[in-house]
Chain A
Amino acid sequence: MALKLLLTLIIALVTGLFFLGLSRKMIARIQWRYGPPLIQPLIDIIKLLSQKSMTHGGLFNFGLVLSLAGSVILLLFIPLGEWCIMNKSGGLLVIIYLMLLAPFGTALSSGAAANPNASIGISRKLLMALAYEVPLLLILLTLMTYYNTISISGIIVKQQNAGWSLTILPLLLSGIAYILILPAVLGIRPFAIVKAPQEIASGPSVEYSGKFLAFAEIQHAFQTYITIALFVNLFLGGASNPGYFFLKMLVVFVAGILIHTVFPRFRIEQAIKYLWRWPALLALAGLAVVVILDKI
C-alpha cells in the first residue's frame, strides 16, 4: 500500500515535469528554434531547491504547503490505470470538494506576500476558478447522473463496456464542453491569465524565491497531471494498463500545447464571458438531456 502510494506520487511528478519540459521543447520547435532539453524543469527545480529563499512570515509558508498538500491529496483519488489509492472514499464528490484546496492555499500565501501584483494575480486566479467551475460542475454532475455512481473507477469500468464517454450520444454535449474548458483548467494560453509575467510580474508567485518557487513548480506539475488524468479517466475511457493511459494523456496534452503556441492571452473579462457563455450553455444542455433521459 505504501509502495503504491510512493509510486503514484513519483509517476505523477515525473509525468508532470515531463509534460512541462515537453511543452517548452514543442513551443521552441514550433517557433523555429532548438529549445531547452526535456529535463529542463527538473534542472530548474534542482537549482531552486539549492537557493537561499526568503519568506514573509508563517502564513506565507503555510499557504504554499497547503496548496501542495491539496494537489497531492487530489492525486490519491484519481485512478492511474487500475490503481486507485483512495478508491472507497467518495470519488467525484470528494474531488469536487478538494479542488478548492490548491487555489485557496496559493491565495493565502500570495496574500501574505503583501505585493499588489500578487493580489491582482490571486484575484484573477479565483475569478478564473469560479469561471471554469460553472461548466465543470455541470459536466461532473452530468456524468454522475448518467452513470449513477460517484466513483471514478466505476465510470472507467462502465466505459470499458460501453465505449468512451465521448462517443456516447447523450454525453456528447458535455464532452464538447469539457474540451472547450480544458485550456482554462490547465492554465495555458489563451487562458494563461494568472501567471502573466509581462503584465503583473508573475501574479501570485511574485515573491516566491528558492524552495518556494520549487514547490510552486512542483504543484503546477501535479496540477497539470491531475487535470489531464481526470479528463482521460472520465471521457476517454481511462485505461487498464499505464502505458496506454500515458499515451492518451500525451495526445490530450500535445493538442493543448498546439493551441497554447498560437494564441495570445485573453483578458480576464473575456475569459469569464467565454467560459460562462458557450461551454456553460453546452454543459447545461447536456445535463438537461441526461436528466430528461433519466426520467423517461
Chain B
Amino acid sequence: MNLVYILAVAFTASLLVYLSGKISKTLRNFLAVLVSLGMAASVIYLYNHSFAIHLSTGFPDFPLVLRINTLAWFFALIISVVGVLTVIFSLQYIKNKKRTDFYFLMLLLVNVSMLGIIFSGDLLSFYIFWEIMSWSTFLLISYNRGAAIAAGMKYIIMSLAGSAAILTGILSLYTCFGTLIIAELAGNLSLTSPAYTLFIFLLFFTGFGIKNAVWPFHSWLPPAHSEAPSPFSALLSGTLIKIGTYGLIIFFYVILGMKKFIGLKYGFFNLQYMLCWIGAFTIVFPTFIALLQNDAKRLLAWHSIGQMGYIILGIAFGTSTGVAGGIFHIFNHAAFKGLLFLSVGAVEYRTNGVRDLNSLGGLLKKMPVTFCGALIGACGIIGMPLTNGFVSKWLIYKTLIVEKYPFLAFAALLGTWGTILSLYKFLHNIFLGQLPEKYKNIKKAPFTMQFPMLVFSLIIITCGVLPGIPLKIINRIITSFGLKALDISIWGVISETGALNTVNIFFALAGAFFIIWLIFKLWPKETKIAQADNYAAGAAVPRDKYNYTVNFYNPLYRMISPCLRDFIDEFYIRLAKITRSLCNSIKLVYNGDTGYYIMYIILFMTALIFIQIKWSIW
C-alpha cells in the first residue's frame, strides 16, 4: 500500500471528521475511530515491507521521499496503536466539553503528522510534518483554557526554538552536501571536519532534545502534560516525546553512522560519554522531583522525563544490548505511561476533574478495573519481573555493569527506587486508604474507557512474559545500524555472562506465588470486614478524617525539597524576564507616538545633511 495514499487519506479524513461533527456526534465518533483504526491497520499491513517513494515538488533539488524500514515500522506501530486507544478513550471523556469537533480534528492531525515524520525519508518532509505536529500539539494542550494556555505557551516557545535549531541544521547540511535525503546523507558526515560534526550535533541535539525533554530542555513537559486533556496526555507522554528520540536515533545511527558516533571525542570530552551522563542525570533528578508532587498528572509527567533518561542512556551507550534496551523501553514506556495517564483520566472523569492527590483516596472498591490498570502500569514502570519494563531495564543494567560503568548503573538503579516510591504514592493516594464521603457514589469507569486500559495491560504482560516477540524486531533494527545482533529466544535474551534467564525467574516467581497462594487458601477462610471497621484505638472510625494522604513522604520532603527545585526552569523564567525588560526599555524609544517618529526622522535627516555639507562624503 502506498505511503502517500495512507497519509493523504488520513489527512482528508481528519478534516472530514471535523465537518461530520457539525452533522452528528455519533457519526463523528464513528469516523474518528474508523480513521485511527485504518491508520493502525495499514501500518500493521506494512510489516516487513521496506521501500522508498520519491515525489517531486517543483524544485529539482528537493524531492520529497517517503520510506519505510523496520525502524520506521516499529515507531509507526507504537504511534498508531496508542493513537487508536486514545481516540477510543476520548469518546466518553470529551463528551461534556466544548469544541469537541476541534478536539478530534487536532487529535487525528497529531497522529497523522507523527506518522508523516516517521515515514519521511528526507529532511524537508521531516521538517514539514514536524511543524504540523508542533502546532497541532500546542492547540490541543491549551484546549482546556485557564492554566492550560500558559502551559501551551511554554511548550510552543521551546518547541519553536527547537524547530529553529533543526532548520538551521538542515540548511547547513544542504549547503554542505547538496542533498537532503537521509539515505544519501548517511555516512557523509564522517568526511567533514570534527568541528562541523560538533556544530551539527549541537544543533540537532538541541532541537530533538527539546522535544525529547532531556534534562536541560525539560521544563515545558510538566505543565504541558498535566494541563492537557488526559487522553492527549497519554498520547503526548507515550509517543510525542519519543519522536525526539526517533530524530536522535536517525541522527546518531543513520546520518552520523555507528563508527563515528562511538568514538566521538573532542580532546578530553568524550561526547558519547557525556550524553550517557546527561541521560543518567535525567533519570535521577526528575524522578525525585516527581516524589514531591501533589498533582497526579504532574507526578506522571515528571516521571516521563525520568524514563526518557533511561532511553537516552540506553541509546547513547552504543552496545547492542544497550541500544536494544533503549529502543525496547520506548515501546514499553508508551504502554505503561499511556495506561497510567488513562487511569488518571478515568478517575478525573468520574470525580469531575479532581486529580489532586491530597483529596482523593480509597477508590479501589469503586473503580476496580481502573485500579488494576494503574497497578499493572505501576508494576511495569517500576520494572517488576513478569512485565515488559523488567526486560528493557534489565538489558540496560546488564550492559552498564558488564561494560564496567558502575556509576551509571548506580544512577539507573537509584531511578528505579525513586520510581517505586513515587508510583506507590500515586497508587495509594488515589486508590488505597479510606474513601472520602463525597465519593461514596462514584460509578465505575465506562467500558470505552476500560477497554484501552485492558489492551495496554495485556500488551505489558504479554511482552513481559514473551519478550522475544518485540525483541525480534528490535534485533533487526540494531543490525541495520551495524551492531551485533542479540541472541534471543521467545522467552528472552540468552547470553554468556551470567545469563539472563527470564524463563527461570518468571517460573520461579509464578511458582512461588502460586504455592504460597495455595497454602494461604488452605487455611480456614477469613471473614471479610468493611473498610470502616478499622482499628481506631477503640473509637468508631471518624468519617473523612481517617486517611493519611497529605504530605505522604513528609520527612523526605522536608529534607530534600530545598535542593530539588527546578533550576533550569527558574533559569528560563529569568531569561524570559530579562528579555521582557530589554524589550520594555526598547519601547522607551519605539513608543508608538507618531510625533516622536517624525522627530527622529527630522533629526536624522538634519544629521545627514550636516555631514554632507561639512565633509561631502557622497
Q: Indicate yes or no for A touching B, C-beta below 8 A.
A: yes
Residues of chain A within 8 A (CB-CB) of B504 are: 86, 88-89
By beta carbon, the residue of chain A nearest B435 is A114
Residues of chain A within 8 A (CB-CB) of B127 are: none
- A108, chain B: closest CB distance, angstroms: 8
Q: Are A272 and B556 in contact (CB under 8 A)?
A: yes
- B380, chain A: closest CB distance, angstroms: 13
Task: Say yes or no: is B420 at the interface (Cβ < 8 Å to chain A).
Answer: yes
* Interface residues on chain B, size class: 35 or more
Residues of chain A within 8 A (CB-CB) of B528 are: 54-57
Task: Say yes or no: is A217 at the interface (Cβ < 8 Å to chain B).
Answer: no
Number of A-B contacts (CB under 8 A): 197
Contact residues, A79-130 vs B (CB, 8 A): 86, 88-91, 93-94, 96-98, 100-101, 103-104, 107-108, 111-117, 119-120, 122-124, 126-127, 129-130
Kindly specify which of A14-22, A63-71, A227-235, A251-259 makes contact with the partner chain.
A63-71
Which of A113, A151, A268 has a CB less than 8 Å from the CB of B534?
A113
Q: Are B424 and A104 in contact (CB under 8 A)?
A: yes
Contact residues, B516-536 vs A (CB, 8 A): 516-517, 520, 523-524, 526-529, 531, 534-536
Q: Are B404 and A114 in contact (CB under 8 A)?
A: no
Task: Say yes or no: is B409 at the interface (Cβ < 8 Å to chain A).
Answer: yes
Task: Say yes or no: is A269 at the interface (Cβ < 8 Å to chain B).
Answer: yes
By beta carbon, the residue of chain A nearest B545 is A116
Number of interface residues of A (CB under 8 A): 75
Q: Are A211 and B523 in contact (CB under 8 A)?
A: yes
Q: Are B417 and A52 in contact (CB under 8 A)?
A: no
Q: Are A127 and B516 in contact (CB under 8 A)?
A: no
Listed in ascending order, the chain A residues whose CB lies under 8 Å from chain B are: 49, 52-57, 59, 61, 64-66, 68-69, 72-73, 76, 86, 88-91, 93-94, 96-98, 100-101, 103-104, 107-108, 111-117, 119-120, 122-124, 126-127, 129-130, 133-134, 137-138, 141-142, 144-145, 149-151, 201, 206-207, 210-212, 215, 267-269, 272-273, 287, 291, 294
Listed in ascending order, the chain B residues whose CB lies under 8 Å from chain A are: 362, 364-365, 375, 382-385, 390, 394, 397-398, 401, 404, 406-407, 409-410, 413-414, 416-418, 420-421, 424-425, 427-428, 431-434, 497-501, 504-505, 508-509, 512-513, 516-517, 520, 523-524, 526-529, 531, 534-537, 546-549, 552-556, 558-559
**30 A-B residue contacts at CB 8 Å?**
A49-B523, A52-B527, A55-B529, A57-B365, A57-B531, A61-B520, A73-B512, A86-B508, A88-B501, A88-B504, A90-B505, A97-B385, A100-B417, A104-B424, A107-B424, A119-B433, A119-B552, A122-B424, A126-B553, A127-B556, A129-B417, A133-B417, A137-B414, A141-B401, A150-B401, A151-B498, A212-B526, A268-B555, A272-B556, A287-B410
The 7 lowest CB-CB distance pairs between A and B, nearest first, are A111-B432, A116-B548, A119-B548, A141-B406, A69-B513, A53-B526, A69-B512
19 new A-B contacts at CB < 8 Å, known A127-B553, A145-B406, A211-B526: A49-B523, A57-B364, A86-B505, A89-B501, A93-B397, A94-B505, A97-B394, A108-B432, A111-B424, A116-B548, A119-B428, A119-B549, A122-B424, A129-B420, A130-B556, A206-B535, A269-B559, A291-B406, A294-B404
